[in-house]
Chains A and B, each alone.
Chain A
Amino acid sequence: MGIKQGFVAGVAVLVVSAALYAGPSGGTISGKVTYEGTPAKQKPIDMSKEPSCAQQHATPITTETVVTGPNNALENVVVYISAGAPDDSTAPGQPAKFTQKGCQYLPHVLAFEVNQTLEIANDDQTSHNIHPLPKVNREWNKSQPPGTPPISEKYDKPEFIPVKCNIHPWMHGNFAVLKNSHYAVSQGEGSFTLPNLPPGKYTITAWHESYGDQSQEVTITGSETKTVNFVFKAKPY
């Protein structure tokens, strides 16, 4: 439970930090991401090969390809402005943090900006290798034994990048490298907020690692708050 709370808190921090960098005022887009249908059942992970990690989980954790909340809420959906907002000319100075703990990636989906520093830490007592698998960005693969300082990296092109650890095949995460600061990752209630949007016509896109993406058009005229909801069709496999 502690992990989940930490995870939610982490996402919240991110959303807040995103808001801080988005500019002083403007309209807001908020809404909920839900699913309809039956999502695939997440499978328990056998960490017996890595006792130092298994010990950290009283009950076995499950895979995270689809994480849901109450009332069909869908978590880990990246909601971002895909068109209408200018690209950020400078990346935020604050690093996006990605942590390996209990042989899990925290957060499971990490959104950050092009050229923003990505800081990857290993809190475990075992070696990990961080192996993101981009298609348009550079593919690298680094070893991180326990007790070594965090790895700093950057991506210079927008892309959704799956991340894996070859040593621990169950470890899967995602990087969402985005062009501007208007993004959020849906939390436990499936809710998201994109504040401080100047007036304009926007394409707002929601991306989920298993269900792909969908977009809607939204026009912001002043300091209004518009509600946009996304519904993903869940597949039972």
Chain B
Amino acid sequence: MRTLKMKSIQLFLAVIAIAVFPALTPGQQVDAHIGKLSGNTDAGKHLYFRYCWGCHGFRGNGEGENAPYLNPTPRNFVAAVFKCRSTPTGTLPIDEDLYNSVGRGFNTTNMPSWIELTDQNRADLIAFIKSFSPRWKTEKPGTPITVPPEPKLTLESIRHGHELFEKLECWKCHGQEGYGDGPSAATLTDSNDQPIKPYDFAVGWRFKCGVTNHDLYKIFMTGLDGTPMPSFADVIKPEEAWDLVHFLRTLQVTHKSPELTLWESTKEGAEQVAAKKIYGTPTGSGVKQ
């Protein structure tokens, strides 16, 4: 009863809030800077209460009216834990990371790409969502990890990447063949105790944090904070990390890549790829990355 009452009070306050929000005083003025763009918290607030609150909530805590129906749950900006960063695990992302996330959207979630908004709009939104968490005032964003230039793609690189995949036990969650069906996959939960599935490489969906090899490198070297995906920065040498990237691409059998092509040019590779089950319908494959 209490929660119900609380909920209705909250709802009432929410309705009041949206009715009068233009009159509300701005929160903490935390600006965002992305390249030449400067985000304005006030401007972002108006955009937030047009586009974002339904899922992320009036208080930015990820408890919008629609949140109970979403999986994965919307990001909680108060906790300020973000999946897609260029910075080490446990650190705040740089503004550009957040800006890119808003523009890119999160594949297989309810978070769409917002590239239809202007660059300025997105920068303003970043400025505003940063005002939800005190962490932005007490902590500095992490220093982006250094990504060395990608070495030449070779079969040795792919094979070594495979060894790393075994040694680091990526397969415990992602499965030996990359189907996302490893022995631990079924038990995974995110930091909100919601079930979460590891990425299925065979389906070949776009990665949540970007589609390039560079993005893939960052995913496992920074970890996806708030999810079971840890950072491997302490255990993989930067030069070896590219080998893992090359190998992982060969697991994406429905997504054409130079890595897959090279791998298929070998007898064992061709056999392995041909033996892979393909999930989904023809229209679900061939997704442009």
A binding-site residues for B, Cβ under 8 Å = 49, 126-127, 129-131, 133, 135, 138-145, 148, 151, 166-169
Contact A142 B169 (CB under 8 A): no
Within the assembled complex, what's the spacing in Å between the Cα atoms of A135 and B134?
12
| Given pairs A144-B235, A169-B184, 16 additional interface contacts (CB within 8 A) | A126-B169, A127-B168, A133-B191, A139-B90, A139-B226, A141-B90, A141-B223, A141-B227, A141-B228, A141-B230, A141-B231, A142-B230, A143-B168, A143-B231, A166-B173, A167-B228
Within the assembled complex, what's the spacing in Å between the Cα atoms of A135 and B139?
15
Does B232 count as interface, using CB distance less than 8 angstroms?
yes
Q: What secondary structure prevails in chain A residues at the interface with B?
A: loop
Q: Enumerate chain A residues within 8 angstroms of B168, measured Cβ to Cβ.
A: 127, 143, 145
Contact A143 B225 (CB under 8 A): no
Within the assembled complex, what's the spacing in Å between the Cα atoms of A169 and B234?
22
Which residue of chain A is the closest to B188 with respect to CB atoms?
A166
A132 → B minimal CB distance (Å): 9
Q: Mark B247-272, 1 if CB is under 8 A from A, else 0.
A: 00000000000000000000000000
B38 → A minimal CB distance (Å): 27
A56 → B minimal CB distance (Å): 18
Contact B228 A142 (CB under 8 A): no
Contact B90 A138 (CB under 8 A): yes
Contact A166 B228 (CB under 8 A): yes
Q: Enumerate chain A residues within 8 angstroms of B188, measured Cβ to Cβ.
A: 166, 169
Within the assembled complex, what's the spacing in Å between the Cα atoms of A139 and B81?
7
B95 → A minimal CB distance (Å): 18
Does B183 count as interface, using CB distance less than 8 angstroms?
yes
Interface residues of B in 176-204 (CB under 8 A from A): 183-184, 187-189, 191
Does B33 count as interface, using CB distance less than 8 angstroms?
no
Does B79 count as interface, using CB distance less than 8 angstroms?
yes
Contact A145 B187 (CB under 8 A): no
Within the assembled complex, what's the spacing in Å between the Cα atoms of A142 and B173?
15
Contact A131 B184 (CB under 8 A): no
Interface residues of B in 195-231 (CB under 8 A from A): 223-231
List, sorted by A's number, 29 A–B pairs whose CB atoms are closer than 8 Å. Answer: A131-B191, A131-B228, A131-B230, A138-B91, A138-B139, A139-B90, A139-B225, A140-B91, A140-B225, A140-B231, A141-B224, A141-B228, A143-B168, A143-B230, A143-B232, A143-B234, A143-B235, A144-B234, A144-B235, A145-B167, A145-B168, A151-B234, A166-B189, A167-B169, A167-B172, A167-B184, A168-B184, A169-B187, A169-B189
Which residue of chain B is the closest to A149 with respect to CB atoms?
B234
Does B89 count as interface, using CB distance less than 8 angstroms?
yes
Which residue of chain B is the closest to A49 with respect to CB atoms?
B183
Q: Enumerate chain B residues within 8 angstroms of A135, measured Cβ to Cβ.
A: 79
A180 → B minimal CB distance (Å): 21
A43 → B minimal CB distance (Å): 15
Contact A148 B225 (CB under 8 A): no
Number of contacts between A and B (CB, 8 Å)? Answer: 79
Q: Enumerate chain B residues within 8 angstroms of A49, measured Cβ to Cβ.
A: 183-184
Within the assembled complex, what's the spacing in Å between the Cα atoms of A169 and B225?
17
Which residue of chain A is the closest to B184 with respect to CB atoms?
A167
A127, A130, A131, A139: the one within 8 Å of B169 (CB): A127
B61 → A minimal CB distance (Å): 12
B192 → A minimal CB distance (Å): 9
Which residue of chain A is the closest to B139 with respect to CB atoms?
A138
Which residue of chain A is the closest to B227 with respect to CB atoms?
A141
Which residue of chain A is the closest to B224 with respect to CB atoms?
A141
Within the assembled complex, what's the spacing in Å between the Cα atoms of A142 and B139?
20
Contact A140 B228 (CB under 8 A): no
B164 → A minimal CB distance (Å): 10
Contact A148 B234 (CB under 8 A): yes
Q: Enumerate chain B residues within 8 angstroms of A129, measured Cβ to Cβ.
A: 228, 230
Within the assembled complex, what's the spacing in Å between the Cα atoms of A141 and B173?
15
Q: Enumerate chain B residues within 8 angstroms of A141, measured Cβ to Cβ.
A: 89-90, 223-225, 227-231
Which residue of chain A is the closest to B142 with respect to CB atoms?
A138
Q: Mark B80-108, 1 if CB is under 8 A from A, else 0.
A: 01000000111100000000000000000
Within the assembled complex, what's the spacing in Å between the Cα atoms of A141 and B231?
6
Most buried by A among B88, B89, B226: B89
Contact B191 A127 (CB under 8 A): no
Within the assembled complex, what's the spacing in Å between the Cα atoms of A151 and B90?
14
Q: Enumerate chain A residues within 8 angstroms of B139, measured Cβ to Cβ.
A: 138
Contact B226 A142 (CB under 8 A): no
